[in-house]
Amino acid sequence: MENNRVLIIGAGGIGAYFGGRLAQAGMEVAVVCRSNYTPVKKNGFDIRSIAGDFSFNPAGVYRSCAEYPGAADYLIVTTKVLPEIEAVKIIAAAVKPGTAIVLIQNGIGIETDIAAAYPDHELISAVAYIGVFRESDNRIEHQAAGHLKMGLYRGGSSAKLDLLCRAFNRAGVECEAVADIEFCRWVKLVWNTPYNPVSVLAGGADTRVISTTPELDDLCMELMREVCAVAAARGIHLPADIIRKNLDYTRAFPPYKTSMLLDFEHKRPLEAEAIVGKVVQLARAARVAVPRLETVYALLTAADISNRSRS
């Protein structure tokens, strides 16, 4: 089978879950693990999923991309988006002729460095709608949803993109190829950019607490307005009712903790730049006033540093 070799970089919840599904679809899926190399090498992943528990025994487990033998057809990056994680360097050794690079990550503007460093490689950008996290070294908890939207960062369509979508769909993961992945990223950002930092800064608030506290609910609405204004300034016109739908959806959904709050509680670094800082940066470049986003961003960055400095 062609286009069959997959290497996952960053085997947290997202990487293990979607990697495991591609293995179920018949692909040869290897993983690069850092902290959890030994337990994964020994036992693979144990995935508890709302869609039925399953195991994922990677075709290979490596400590770095340099150890991966031969060439991958898909190099799927599922690390957190953090300033200290330099994806361009981390993947370098595994980028071979014909390798497509796939980013399943949060945030906006996350593709630019990779696109610049690897101009001759297909770059597939993907947004995941899923509640999944790594509970321990090789144990993954999949609690909600689980679908993908992906598209070529530089636009257009490709056989590799179609093939990857079909593989996901074969394994029961709804995966839609979209023409404008940037638009999809902004749609997701309209929710992520308010709720993630507010959940942390409000003292550890789940979505229900946010929705039922009028001042926080209003704050999220105003933050969403600011995100939409930044998108509009960049020519991305989000649906008129997106804010109202997000508020309603969040209120109706069972209470849950945002991924940023989970990271904060585990004293892990926050994706503050990719989810909030980048929007502030784009706003400033476009001279769009985002006073609430700036406020939240300044406080979040400081709280993140302070949180990690504590034992």
Candidate ranges 24-32, 51-59, 135-143, 201-209; the one touching a second copy (CB under 8 A): 201-209
By CB under 8 A, tell whether 307 contacts a second copy: yes
Q: Which of 216, 243, 270, 279 binds a second copy (CB under 8 A)?
A: 216
Whether the CB-CB separation of 271 and 106 falls below 8 Å is answered with: yes
Nearer to a second copy, 72 or 296 (CB): 296
Which string of x and - marks every residue 260-279 that binds a second copy (by CB under 8 A)? --------------------
Q: What is the Cα–Cα distance from 159 to 157, expressed in whole angstroms?
A: 7
Q: Which is nearer to a second copy, 49 or 301 (CB)?
A: 301
Q: Which stretch binds a second copy (CB under 8 A): 42-50, 62-70, 72-80, 213-221?
A: 213-221
Q: Which stretch binds a second copy (CB under 8 A): 87-95, 115-123, 149-157, 196-204?
A: 196-204
Which CB, 117 or 233, lies closer to a second copy?
233
The residue among 177 and 220 lying less far from a second copy, judged by its C-beta, is 220
Work out whether 209 is an interface residue with a second copy (CB under 8 A): yes
Does 299 interact with a second copy (rule: CB under 8 A)?
A: yes
Shortest CB 294 distance to a second copy, Å: 7
Q: Out of 213, 221, 262, 286, which residue is the one contacting a second copy (CB under 8 A)?
A: 213
Closest separation in Å from C-beta 265 to a second copy: 12
Cα separation of 304 and 269, whole Å?
A: 7
For a second copy, give the closer residue by CB, 214 or 235.
Answer: 214
Q: Do residues 132 and 143 lie in contact, with contact meaning Cβ atoms separated by under 8 Å? A: yes
Query: Segment contacting a second copy (CB under 8 A): 95-103, 114-122, 214-222, 255-263?
Result: 214-222
Comparing CB distances to a second copy, the nearer of 4 and 213 is 213
- State the nearest-atom distance from the C-beta of 130 to a second copy, in Å: 27
Q: Answer yes or no whether residue 291 interacts with a second copy by CB under 8 A.
A: yes
296 binds a second copy (CB under 8 A): yes
Q: How far apart are CA 251 and CA 248, in angstroms?
A: 5
Cross-strand bridge partners of residue 202: none
**Residue found under tokens 């997106």:** 242
For residue 215, the minimal CB distance to a second copy (Å) is: 4
CB–CB of 224/245 below 8 Å? no
Contact residues toward a second copy (CB under 8 A) are 198, 201-205, 209, 213, 215-216, 218-219, 222, 291-292, 294-299, 301-307
